[in-house]
Structure 1
Amino acid sequence: MAALEYLESQRNAQPELAEWYNTLGDLYKRKLWHQLTLKLDQFVALAVFQAGDALIQLYHNFITEFETKINLLKLAHFSVIVSRQYSDKEAAIGYLEGVIEKLQAAKDIRVEEAILYVKMQIAACKLENGDQKECKTLLEDGKNTLDNLAEIDPSVYASYHWVSSQYHKSRQEFADFYKSSLLYLAYTSLESLSETFKLDLAFDLSLSALLGDNIYNFGELLAHPIIQSLIGTKAEWLYYILQTFNGGDLVRYQELIHAHRASLNAQPALVENEKKLLEKIRVLSLMEIIFSRPSEDRTIPLNLIEDRTKLSVEDVEYLLVKCLSAHLIKGIIDQVQGTVHVSWIQPRVLGVPQIKSLRDRLDNWLGKVHTALSSVEAETPDLVVL
């Protein structure tokens, strides 16, 4: 049996892994496919296999002997891991297309999700080769497949959203990258990601949140555990800038820009969009002014906004028009009175300081309700039934 002969040769070549090879051989001989799959999961994750072509050899000399007998999605997982050891992306694509042919021949009601998982890796290889058009086509087909499948494994969703995020990153489509990356994280366990990977993703997410069009809510990102990866690193300054944007604190933002000018200059996208960033934090400053006021006191003097945003009255009116047209707020500007009455503000994911502010306002409202109730009880004691 070729598979057992291969395991024997590897056991002799790598005596430190002899116990692993013995276990794999035993499970293979006993045809315990589920247990063998679980053991392989652990085996291919060993650090010793992360370089060279060891996994390619393992697949062609061992896994191919029983690949259609195991869970097909697990086969897809193994295949994608193996494909990453091909230095030539075209060779990796050819290998993955061969796996898809084997999957298509299998009779399994859930084969489509396994095929989709492999196709997303092909899309990733295409993107790495600079073929954005073919990657986009595969993503569009993948989206159609996802829409028509039921009970899809989270790993399949994760693979789709990850490749989608990398496609948008390659095109510098910041808002789309931001959305796709958050969706990827929704289907991925943080514990499965390396610290380096988390730091890189947290950094890219932060930049995309700052630079993405129509992204004015930073609470969701700040509340996600991945953002903590920035703390204690050279990129920590970016975490504080996100906090500053979330609170609409223009003064603090300018202080951070001055203190971390060298780090900012190392990011061309931030340098090129400084004017846009300044406009965005002014929008958030306006939203923070509105949010911090009680709902019955939403008629705001323009000179108050002028003071907080460091704009002229004319520019404040332009800022308000921008917010109204972007549907961030609803209201009416009264140029005669020099005020704006806001009837609605876009919901936000709140940070701890904003939640505390909301709690204080609720406490104040409860106090008013209690006062009103006491007044009614005092004036009409016969009508009040306890």
Structure 2
Amino acid sequence: MGAALEYLEEKRNAQPELAEWYDAMADLYQKKLWHQLTLKLDQFVSLAIVQAGDCLIQLYHNFITDFEMKINLLKLAHFAVIVSRQYSEREAAISYLEGVIEKLRATRELRIEEPILYVKMQIAAFNLEEGNQKECKKLLEDGKSMLDGMTDIDPSVHASFYWVSSQYHKNRQEFAEFYKNALLYLAYTSVESLSESFKLDLAFDLSLSALLGDNIYNFGELLAHPVINCLIGTKVEWLYYILQAFNDGNLALYQELCHVHGASLNAQPALVVNQKKLLEKINILCLMEIIFSRPSEDRTIPLSIIAERTRLSIGDVEYLLMKSLSENEVISDFWVTICCVFIDFLYANILLAKRALILQS
């Protein structure tokens, strides 16, 4: 009996509750059914009982290493990343992953860039956790170059890159960049594969970044994504309704929500620090809603109407119009007079279907 089988036998005796798993893996290993063994391992490493301690580290070094170059190398990269998270010391985890990369490079297989990039992104994530933003940024830049030179990329590789990119920008409080990368991560990830706690945290972070990110005026894409529904029925449900208020350009509702949920909002430093910015953004969205609510042939809007809806002075309304232009949300030939403003065309990067229909009518 080889060392790999001896290890499985030892584990079978030590963990009788997992005996069927170890028996199945031993059988597939002996029959050299590498694809089926890969599928069985994929199921095994996701079991809650093997997540604690160094169970997976031992499994890799005593069993998987015996046949690791016989299985799909991207799946090997997936296993390696899962194993690396069991190391208590980040330096040891990085060293382990660097060793895996060396093995991958030594195979000289085609399409080796995919598994290497996947592993590198976990190394970047560990560097970020350790506060080494510089090394994380370098790995992300290298990763972007690798992605640009690849075709037919597995979704898991894209997802790993965009996830680490999002966390890098979150760490730096670069809200718009976090928002963009987090949405791209979700584009390559099955929402059903994510835990409820993970989805809730991500929905919360996405919501804050949408509110605080520069030049983010479309909330329809986020509100249409199933992950955002995780906010409903939780203690942070108020954030969902604030997103709705911004999406509708409903200043009155936003101010009411701020009053009702003041304690919750004040518990979020980023919202407190950016109160003025948030008010400015919803005023622009309110202006957009005023324009969309009027017939396409009637875009002569008295400043007094805008002032009433936004609760601003005439002078502040003029500033709001100029701010809207600078944000590229309103593109027009327009004239501001003492009493009215003509807005010829409103542009937004992505429009909700109902608004697009209104604009085309």
**Shorter-chain TM band:** over 0.9
Contact 2:136 2:168 in 1 (8 A): yes
- Tell me the residue number matched to 2:240: 239
- Tell me the residue number matched to 2:315: 314
Q: Determine the C-alpha separation between the residues in 1 that align with 2:241 and 2:82.
A: 36
Q: Determine the C-alpha separation between the residues in 2 that align with 1:286 and 1:359.
A: 18
Contact 2:288 2:346 in 1 (8 A): yes
Provide Cα deviations, 1:4-40, integer angstroms capped at 9, x if missing partner. 0000000000111111111100110111110100110
Superposed, 1:296-307 pairs within 5 Å as 296-307=297-308
Q: Determine the C-alpha separation between the residues in 1 that align with 2:356 and 2:158.
A: 36
Q: Which amino acid aligns with 1:231?
A: I
- Tell me the residue number matched to 1:57: 58
Displacement of 1:339 in angstroms is 2.1
- Tell me the residue number matched to 2:87: 86
Contact 1:157 1:184 in 2 (8 A): yes
Provide Cα deviations, 1:204-231, integer angstroms capped at 9, x if missing partner. 0000001111111111100000000000
Displacement of 1:333 in angstroms is 3.8
Contact 1:175 1:213 in 2 (8 A): yes
Provide Cα deviations, 1:147-187, integer angstroms capped at 9, x if missing partner. 00011000000000000000000000000000000000000
Query: Residues 131 and 340 of structure 1: is their aligned pair in 2 closer, same or farther, counting only changes over 3 Å?
Result: same
Q: Determine the C-alpha separation between the residues in 2 that align with 1:343 and 1:134.
A: 48
Provide Cα deviations, 1:243-282, integer angstroms capped at 9, x if missing partner. 0000011111110000001101110000011111000000
Q: Determine the C-alpha separation between the residues in 2 that align with 1:315 and 1:361.
A: 26
Contact 2:296 2:359 in 1 (8 A): no
The count of aligned residue pairs is: 360
Displacement of 1:360 in angstroms is 8.0
Contact 2:12 2:19 in 1 (8 A): yes
Which ranges of structure 1 fall in alignment gaps of 5 or more residues? 366-386
- Tell me the residue number matched to 2:250: 249
Q: Determine the C-alpha separation between the residues in 2 that align with 1:348 and 1:257.
A: 28
Query: Residues 306 and 331 of structure 1: is their aligned pair in 2 closer, same or farther, counting only changes over 3 Å?
Result: same
Q: Determine the C-alpha separation between the residues in 2 that align with 1:126 and 1:275.
A: 35
Q: Determine the C-alpha separation between the residues in 2 that align with 1:264 and 1:202.
A: 16
Contact 1:175 1:209 in 2 (8 A): yes
Displacement of 1:118 in angstroms is 0.2
Q: Secondary structure at the match of 1:297?
A: coil
Contact 2:336 2:342 in 1 (8 A): no
- Tell me the residue number matched to 2:15: 14
* Larger Rg, first or second structure (1 or 2): 1
Provide Cα deviations, 1:276-296, integer angstroms capped at 9, x if missing partner. 100000000001111222222
Q: Determine the C-alpha separation between the residues in 2 that align with 1:17 and 1:68.
A: 26
Contact 1:100 1:118 in 2 (8 A): yes
Q: Determine the C-alpha separation between the residues in 1 that align with 2:241 and 2:36.
A: 47
Displacement of 1:315 in angstroms is 0.7
Q: Determine the C-alpha separation between the residues in 2 that align with 1:79 and 1:259.
A: 48
Displacement of 1:298 in angstroms is 1.6
Q: Which amino acid aligns with 2:113?
A: E
Q: Which amino acid aligns with 1:247?
A: D
- Tell me the residue number matched to 2:135: 134
Displacement of 1:347 in angstroms is 3.3
Query: Residues 6 and 142 of structure 1: is their aligned pair in 2 closer, same or farther, counting only changes over 3 Å?
Result: same
Q: Secondary structure at the match of 1:300?
A: strand
Q: Determine the C-alpha separation between the residues in 1 that align with 2:31 and 2:77.
A: 23
Query: Residues 358 and 220 of structure 1: is their aligned pair in 2 closer, same or farther, counting only changes over 3 Å?
Result: closer
Q: Secondary structure at the match of 1:330?
A: coil
- Tell me the residue number matched to 1:224: 225
Q: Secondary structure at the match of 1:331?
A: coil
The TM-score with structure 1 as length reference comes to: 0.91
The TM-score with structure 2 as length reference comes to: 0.97
- Tell me the residue number matched to 1:176: 177
Q: Determine the C-alpha separation between the residues in 1 that align with 2:329 and 2:120.
A: 39
- Tell me the residue number matched to 2:71: 70
Q: Determine the C-alpha separation between the residues in 2 that align with 1:39 and 1:2.
A: 20
- Runs of 4+ aligned structure 1 residues displaced above 3 Å come to 347-351, 357-362
Superposed, 1:1-386 pairs within 5 Å as 1-336=2-337, 338-347=339-348, 349=350, 355=354
Displacement of 1:349 in angstroms is 4.6
Q: Determine the C-alpha separation between the residues in 2 that align with 1:246 and 1:361.
A: 17
Displacement of 1:190 in angstroms is 0.5
Contact 1:158 1:187 in 2 (8 A): yes
Contact 1:76 1:118 in 2 (8 A): yes
Displacement of 1:65 in angstroms is 0.2
Provide Cα deviations, 1:88-121, integer angstroms capped at 9, x if missing partner. 1000000000000000011321111100000000
Displacement of 1:337 in angstroms is 5.7
Q: Aligned residues: percent identity?
A: 71
Query: Residues 240 and 21 of structure 1: is their aligned pair in 2 closer, same or farther, counting only changes over 3 Å?
Result: same
Contact 1:333 1:339 in 2 (8 A): no
Contact 1:158 1:183 in 2 (8 A): yes
Q: Which amino acid aligns with 2:14?
A: A
Query: Residues 76 and 285 of structure 1: is their aligned pair in 2 closer, same or farther, counting only changes over 3 Å?
Result: same
Displacement of 1:327 in angstroms is 1.2
Contact 2:292 2:359 in 1 (8 A): no
Query: Residues 190 and 314 of structure 1: is their aligned pair in 2 closer, same or farther, counting only changes over 3 Å?
Result: same
* C-alpha RMSD of matched pairs (Å): 1.5
Displacement of 1:2 in angstroms is 0.6
